[in-house]
Amino acid sequence: MRTVSWHGNKVRLIDQRLLPWKLSYVDLDSHEAVAEAISDMVVRGAPAIGATAAFGMALAARECNAASIADLISWLQAAALRLKAARPTAVNLAWAVDNLMSLAGSSRFRDANGLRAALLERAQHIADEDVRTNRRMGAHGAALLSEGATVLHHCNTGALATVDHGTALGVIRSAHERGVGFHVLLDETRPRLQGSRLSAWELEQLGVSYDIIPDTAAGYFMQHGEINLVLVGADRIAANGDVANKIGTYQVAVLARENDIPFYCVAPTSTIDLELASGAEIPIEQRDRSEVLAPYGQELAPAHYHARNPAFDVTPHRYLSGIVTESGIARAPFESSLRRALAGEAPQE
C-alpha cells in the first residue's frame, strides 16, 4: 500500500487527516492541488512529501500545453516555486523539485512531450527508490532492536510518512519481520497526534505490540527503566548532525541522555542538507494556532485564546547515538560520516 502514487494521470494520496477512522484516497489533477495537499497535511512525512512534490512537477508539465521546451520550462519554474513554498522545513521537498528541474534543464530532449515523459519517469523513479532506500535503512537499523526490548517512538515515520515501509518505524517493521519480539511505546505527538492516530494504526496492521502514551509520560517510563531505545525520523539534518524533526523530539532526546538511553535518528540521505552548517540555520515552520486550540475540530480551549504552534524543533547532534541511513549508521563526528553516507559509502561505525 503506497502513500503516494501516479494513478490515471493524477497524483493519488492517502488522506492522512482521516486516519485511523477512515482509509480514503484523494486524486489530484493540478500542481496547485498538490501544493495545497502538502500544506494541509493530506500527506506528511519528509520522504512522502518529496515523492509527492516530484509527481506534482510531472503533473505540472502535463497541465501546460506549451509546444516549446523553453515555454514549458518557464511554466515549470513557477510550479517549482509554488511546491517548494508548501512546507519549508522538510528538505526532501526542495530536493525532489530541484531534481526534476535539473532534468528539465538538460539539453537532451527534442520536444516538450519528450520532457513531459521524462519528468514522469524520474518522479516514478524517486518514489520507487524511496521504498528501496527505506528497506536498506530497515536492514541496517534492525540490529539495534534486541529481543524483549521496549522502543520509544515519536511522531509517525512509517509507510505513511514515506512512499512505503518507513524510516524509524521501518526499522521497527524490519526487526518485526525478522522475528524479533519487542514492544513499542508511541508518543501521542501533539497537536496533530501522528503517534496515536497514524503510528498506532500502522502497528495494528503489522501486528506489533504497542502502547500509546501521553507526550508528557516519556520521562516517567524512562525513569522507571521501561525504555531501552529511542527511534525518531527527521525532516532535515544539518552538516554537523543536528536534526530537525517533529516538535517534541528535542525534549525526548534530552530525557534519553539523562537516563542513558540510546537515541537514534533514521533518515535517508536525501534528508541531509550539507549547505547548512548547523540546525540553527534550519527554517522552522510555524503552523496555525487552531491546531493547538481545536485539533481536528475538537475544541480544547476558546478560539480567542492565544497559542503558538511550531511544527518542528532541532535536536543538537550531541544527543544522538547515531543516524541510520541507507548507507549504514553514521556516528560522530557527523561532519565526515554524513558526507560518506551521502557519497554512498559505509559511514565509519
Residue 25 backbone phi and psi in degrees, to 5: -115, 150
CA distance 188 to 197: 8
Place of cell 530525557: 255
CA atoms within 13 A on the CB side of 255: 21
Decide if 250 contacts 75 (C-beta within 8 A): no
Measure the N-to-C terminal CA separation of the chain; round to a whole number of Å: 33
Q: Catalytic residue among 235, 242, 273, 313, which?
A: 235
Residue 303: how many CB atoms within 10 A of its CB? 10
CA distance 137 to 129: 12
**Catalytic site includes residue 260:** no
Strand order in the sheet with 263-266: 210-213, 183-187, 150-153, 229-232, 263-266, 322-325, 328-330
The size of the chain, in residues, is: 349
Could you list the active site residues? 235
